[in-house]
């Protein structure tokens, strides 16, 4: 199409050129220029205005314009645009025929005279089918045309020739132009050529279509029927002629594996068939209501030792009632006090309230909080097992004997026994309770009537040595007094009693004389003649007249004498005696034995027999050792814990022991319980000299001290193993003078009465009743 059009236009221009010949003088300037373009291949129809054939459209349009101009000049009134069109159509048709008919060669004669076809030179017109040649003819580039305003040309063509400015009509022309608008007039100037830019009908149509947003090309079908190049129809011929492989017909192992996995999961219940969520929820609910007897096979199990069950909340009391008795309601002051205290410090978390009917009772606003706190307590509070003693507190108190019950005990000094010169060292009351014997530094033993305080008898045993100890022989059958002076033990029968008793006493003392000689013979059998432990003899006629009937001499000075309860044995202790410090004497045989070859624990201080059992106690400086006499072995060692034991005594029941010490302690021992003291009493300011239990039925014991006082204690001993003895101090007896730091030296209980006798360094004895 593109190729046909320019050619068509060219022809038209050719034709119009003829018509324009008349108008030629109107543009002389153009004519002169046209002359230059002389090389015309065409038939010479073209005049000078047509400078170049190649500039197809511009020239053509120019021609058109000019033609039209002339045309319009010719028939302004009559001629119309359609008629002009018809003319053109007719013209173009004519040209077509013209071109087809005319041969494009000339027949000439060649040198041989033959016919020679000389073809026209082929004009390789650019506009034929070369689109590149359509480019702008004017080569000035993209610069404003106004630069050439001062020049007659408006640019250069491809060959460097000037393109002349098209002739512009004069004012009249432009006026005419403005009056009569030619077809395709736009009022614009073509920037390349400088001529007015006119648009053709087709172009206008094109513009209109674009403006109206129609398809620019007429007759273009936007929606043609689809051509099914690829159809769903099965092709008749397979792409590959290979036979179907076997695997297409064999079930896949891999798939089977995966299926089996799913099957397994379904069977195990891991995959459940899909259900909408609501349905699933409902199902779950039903599922959860599983009820069975949890304790079907219950077996009681003992609770864990460490488990502490949570304590239950206390049941509500009267004051929690919605309608409590009026006395439980708080007064205004109480209410105020409650409100003012910090909520954490309140004893009760609520205030008692009274509502006169149930409908007025409101909700308890602390309910959730209290429950929550209970929850916290249950899992957060450390539980401790506390032993609450749900007992009457008074049951804790020891059952103290009432002061009235403690009576009687000695309270006042009733009788004073005088006569001794210098200190009295020892005092003793005879088993019948009638006589009191004392001995002192003056070397005399005196016997007083206990009831009247008169001296009944006395014997001077020694002129220089003091008499350290005087003791009555136990037993009512005879009345024998024993005293120790230095190494000598004297046994006396004071002439104060009735003759029968005196006779019996003498018999007791004389019974051993035969045995003594026998014993001597036995001891000499060892060969070397050895000193006997003691020599038993008559003390001499002077003393015998006084009533001192027997004398036994041991190796070292004796400090204490203690009789066995039956009155046949007595033991003596001489602290300096070393190996033979402790001696046991048999009165009926006039025999002396030394039971211990060696005694550990320092020098022995005192010794005593157990009141009922065959046990023998020896006190060394710090310990009291208990020996079984029958089996001849150590039973136990009591450790009072004091520095230096002065004396000790055994409770008549035999289970308890008191020890006094020079370091001012009085120690009570429960022999069954411990070797350590049960009670340590420290009430004295000076050393304790002597301690004594009451031998009779009174639960009393006493001690005496160098501070000149006696202390009387009440001791209740019960047979209950769980309850220890109760010791109550009851009385402090003072009255003795302290002479050269020595106070009361010895005490002796009355066998039947709660009376006590004391010997003092001030030379007197006193009876306290």
Residues in region 172-201 near other proteins by CB under 8 A: none
Of 495 and 728, nearer to other proteins (C-beta) is 728
Separation CA 656–CA 718 (nearest Å): 11
324 binds other proteins (CB under 8 A): yes
Of 475 and 724, nearer to other proteins (C-beta) is 724
Show the site string, 469-488: x = touches other proteins by CB under 8 A, - = not.
--------------------
Q: How far is the CB of 367 from other proteins (least distance, A)?
A: 5
Of 212 and 305, nearer to other proteins (C-beta) is 305
370 binds other proteins (CB under 8 A): yes
Choose the stretch contacting other proteins; rule: CB under 8 A; options: 217-225, 242-250, 373-381, 628-636: 373-381
Which run of H or of E encompasses 255?
helix 253-268
Q: How far is the CB of 314 from other proteins (least distance, A)?
A: 9
Return all residues near 127 (Cβ < 8 A) that are at least 6 apart: 3, 6, 7, 54, 56, 57, 133, 134
82 binds other proteins (CB under 8 A): no
Cα separations (Å) of 639 from 374, 512, 646?
57, 38, 14
- Among 376, 507, 718, 732, the residue binding other proteins under the rule CB under 8 A is 376
Choose the stretch contacting other proteins; rule: CB under 8 A; options: 172-180, 210-218, 354-362, 526-534: 354-362
Looking only at the bridges linking them, the beta strands covering 700-705 and 688-693 are antiparallel
Q: 225 is written with which tokens? A: 């029927």
256 binds other proteins (CB under 8 A): no
364 binds other proteins (CB under 8 A): yes
- Strands, sheet with 444-449, edge to edge from the N-terminal-most edge strand: 424-429, 435-440, 444-449, 455-460
Of 434 and 726, nearer to other proteins (C-beta) is 726
Distance from CA of residue 485 to its chain's centroid?
80
Choose the stretch contacting other proteins; rule: CB under 8 A; options: 28-36, 380-388, 692-700, 735-743: 380-388
Restricting to residues 661-720, name those near other proteins by CB under 8 A. Answer: none
Which run of H or of E encompasses 62?
helix 56-74
- Among 208, 282, 383, 566, the residue binding other proteins under the rule CB under 8 A is 383
Q: How far is the CB of 646 from other proteins (least distance, A)?
A: 27
Q: What is the DSSP letter of 182?
A: P
Place of tokens 């160098």: 706
Separation CA 435–CA 471 (nearest Å): 12
- Among 141, 382, 499, 527, the residue binding other proteins under the rule CB under 8 A is 382
Choose the stretch contacting other proteins; rule: CB under 8 A; options: 241-249, 322-330, 545-553, 622-630: 322-330
- Among 155, 352, 440, 754, the residue binding other proteins under the rule CB under 8 A is 352
- Which of 487, 497, 481 shows the shortest CA–CA distance to 549? 481
Separation CA 527–CA 546 (nearest Å): 40
Burial 348-360 (b: 16+ CB within 10 A, else e): eeeebbeeeeeee
Restricting to residues 720-739, name those near other proteins by CB under 8 A. Answer: 726, 728
400 binds other proteins (CB under 8 A): yes
Looking only at the bridges linking them, the beta strands covering 656-661 and 444-449 are unpaired
Of 22 and 375, nearer to other proteins (C-beta) is 375
Choose the stretch contacting other proteins; rule: CB under 8 A; options: 33-41, 196-204, 302-310, 479-487: 302-310
- Among 300, 404, 452, 530, the residue binding other proteins under the rule CB under 8 A is 300
Restricting to residues 327-346, name those near other proteins by CB under 8 A. Answer: 327-328, 331
* Cβ pair 570, 562 in contact under 8 A: yes
Restricting to residues 608-647, name those near other proteins by CB under 8 A. Answer: none
Show the site string, 260-299: x = touches other proteins by CB under 8 A, - = not.
-----------------x------xx--xx-xxxxx--xx
- Which of 394, 392, 393, 406 shows the shortest CA–CA distance to 726? 406
Size of residue set near other proteins by CB under 8 A: 73
Angle between the N-to-C axes of helices 4-20 and 81-101, in degrees from 0 to 180, rounded to the nearest 10: 110
Of 325 and 600, nearer to other proteins (C-beta) is 325
Choose the stretch contacting other proteins; rule: CB under 8 A; options: 12-20, 54-62, 359-367, 537-545: 359-367
- Among 367, 527, 530, 631, the residue binding other proteins under the rule CB under 8 A is 367
Of 589 and 716, nearer to other proteins (C-beta) is 716
Tell me, letter by letter, the H, E, C secondary structure of 692-708: EECCCCCCEEEEEECCC
Looking from the CA of 1 toward its CB, the CA atoms found within 13 Å total 0
Show the site string, 98-127: x = touches other proteins by CB under 8 A, - = not.
------------------------------
Separation CA 456–CA 448 (nearest Å): 5
Q: What is the DSSP letter of 578?
A: G
Q: How far is the CB of 339 from other proteins (least distance, A)?
A: 16
Choose the stretch contacting other proteins; rule: CB under 8 A; options: 318-326, 451-459, 629-637, 751-759: 318-326
Of 70 and 683, nearer to other proteins (C-beta) is 683
* Cβ pair 672, 708 in contact under 8 A: no
Place of tokens 């030179």: 121
- Among 146, 150, 332, 394, the residue binding other proteins under the rule CB under 8 A is 394
- Among 239, 241, 363, 722, the residue binding other proteins under the rule CB under 8 A is 363
Of 324 and 654, nearer to other proteins (C-beta) is 324
Which run of H or of E encompasses 119?
strand 115-119
311 binds other proteins (CB under 8 A): no
Q: 118 is written with which tokens? A: 């000389």
- Among 318, 412, 476, 540, the residue binding other proteins under the rule CB under 8 A is 318
- Which residues are registered as beta bridge partners of 117? 107
- Which of 458, 460, 462 shows the shortest CA–CA distance to 495? 458
Angle 322-327-329 from CA coordinates, rounded to 5°? 50
Q: How far is the CB of 754 from other proteins (least distance, A)?
A: 20
Choose the stretch contacting other proteins; rule: CB under 8 A; options: 118-126, 225-233, 356-364, 551-559: 356-364
Return all residues near 693 (Cβ < 8 A) that are at least 6 apart: 649, 650, 651, 652, 658, 700, 701, 749
Q: How far is the CB of 395 from other proteins (least distance, A)?
A: 10
Work out the burial of residue 42: count CB atoms within 10 Å of its CB; fewer than 13 is exposed, 13-18 middle, 19 or more buried.
Answer: exposed
Q: How far is the CB of 298 from other proteins (least distance, A)?
A: 5
Choose the stretch contacting other proteins; rule: CB under 8 A; options: 70-78, 206-214, 369-377, 600-608: 369-377
């Amino acid at each position: 199409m593109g190729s046909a059009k320019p050619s068509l236009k060219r022809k038209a221009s050719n034709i119009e050129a003829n018509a324009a010949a008349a108008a030629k003088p109107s543009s002389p300037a153009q004519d002169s220029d046209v002359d230059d373009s002389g090389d015309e291949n065409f038939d010479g129809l073209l005049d000078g205005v047509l400078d170049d054939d190649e500039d197809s459209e511009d020239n053509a349009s120019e021609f058109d314009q000019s033609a039209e101009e002339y045309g319009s000049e010719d028939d302004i009134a009559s001629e119309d645009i359609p008629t002009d069109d018809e003319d053109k159509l007719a013209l173009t048709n004519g040209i077509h025929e013209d071109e087809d008919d005319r041969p494009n060669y000339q027949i000439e004669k060649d040198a041989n005279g033959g016919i020679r076809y000389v073809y026209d030179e082929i004009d390789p017109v650019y506009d034929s089918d070369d689109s590149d040649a359509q480019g702008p003819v004017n080569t000035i580039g993209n610069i404003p045309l106004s630069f050439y305003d001062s020049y007659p040309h408006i640019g250069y063509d491809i060959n460097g020739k000037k393109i002349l400015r098209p002739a512009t009509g004069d004012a009249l022309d432009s006026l005419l132009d403005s009056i009569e608008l030619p077809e395709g007039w736009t009022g614009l100037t073509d920037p390349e050529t400088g001529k007015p830019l006119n648009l053709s009908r087709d172009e206008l149509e094109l513009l209109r279509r674009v403006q109206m947003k129609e398809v620019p090309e007429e007759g273009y079908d936007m929606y043609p029927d689809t051509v099914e190049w690829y159809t769903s129809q099965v092709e008749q011929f397979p792409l590959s002629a290979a036979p179907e492989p076997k695997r297409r017909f064999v079930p896949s192992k891999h798939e089977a594996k995966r299926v089996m996995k799913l099957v397994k999961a379904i069977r195990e219940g891991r995959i459940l068939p899909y259900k909408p969520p609501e349905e699933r929820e409902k199902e779950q609910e039903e599922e959860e209501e599983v009820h069975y007897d949890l304790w079907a096979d219950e077996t009681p199990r003992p609770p864990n030792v460490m488990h502490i069950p949570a304590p239950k909340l206390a049941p509500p009391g009267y004051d929690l009632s919605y309608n409590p008795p009026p006395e439980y309601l708080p007064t205004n002051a109480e209410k105020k006090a409650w409100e003012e205290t910090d909520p954490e410090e309140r004893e009760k978390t609520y205030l008692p309230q009274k509502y006169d009917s149930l409908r007025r009772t409101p909700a308890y606003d602390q309910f959730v909080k209290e429950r929550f706190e209970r929850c916290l307590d249950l899992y957060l509070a450390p539980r401790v097992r506390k032993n609450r003693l749900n007992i009457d507190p008074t049951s804790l108190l020891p059952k103290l004997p009432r002061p009235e019950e403690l009576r009687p005990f000695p309270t006042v000094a009733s009788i004073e026994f005088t006569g001794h010169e210098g200190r009295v060292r020892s005092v003793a009351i005879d088993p019948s309770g009638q006589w009191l014997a004392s001995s002192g530094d003056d070397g005399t033993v005196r016997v007083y009537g206990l009831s009247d305080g008169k001296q009944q008898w006395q014997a001077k045993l020694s002129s220089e040595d003091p008499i350290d100890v005087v003791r009555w022989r136990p037993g009512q059958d005879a009345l024998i007094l024993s005293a120790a002076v230095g190494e000598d033990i004297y046994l006396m029968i004071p002439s104060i009693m009735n003759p029968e008793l005196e006779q019996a006493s003498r018999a007791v003392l004389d019974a051993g004389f035969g045995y003594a000689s026998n014993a001597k013979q036995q001891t000499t059998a060892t060969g070397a003649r050895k000193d006997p432990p003691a020599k038993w003899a008559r003390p001499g006629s002077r003393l015998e007249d006084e009533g001192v009937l027997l004398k036994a001499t041991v190796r070292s000075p004796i400090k204490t004498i203690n009789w066995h309860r039956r009155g046949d044995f007595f033991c003596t202790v001489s602290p300096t005696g070393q190996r033979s410090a402790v001696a046991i004497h048999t009165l009926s045989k006039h025999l002396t034995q030394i039971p211990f070859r060696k005694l550990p624990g320092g020098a022995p201080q005192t010794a005593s027999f157990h009141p009922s059992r065959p046990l023998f106690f020896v006190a060394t400086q710090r310990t009291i050792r208990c020996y079984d006499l029958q089996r001849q072995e150590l039973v136990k060692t009591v450790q009072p814990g004091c520095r230096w034991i002065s004396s000790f005594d055994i409770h008549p029941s035999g289970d308890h022991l008191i020890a006094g010490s020079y370091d001012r302690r009085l120690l009570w021992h429960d022999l069954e319980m411990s070797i350590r003291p049960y009670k340590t009493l420290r009430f004295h300011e000076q050393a304790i000299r002597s301690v004594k239990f009451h031998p009779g039925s009174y639960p009393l014991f006493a001690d005496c001290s160098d501070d000149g006082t006696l202390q009387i204690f009440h001791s209740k001993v019960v047979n209950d193993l769980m309850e220890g003895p109760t010791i109550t101090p009851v009385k402090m007896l003072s009255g003795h003078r302290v002479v050269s730091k020595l106070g009361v030296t010895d005490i002796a209980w009355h066998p039947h009465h709660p009376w006590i006798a004391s010997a003092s360094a001030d030379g007197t004895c006193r009876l306290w009743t």
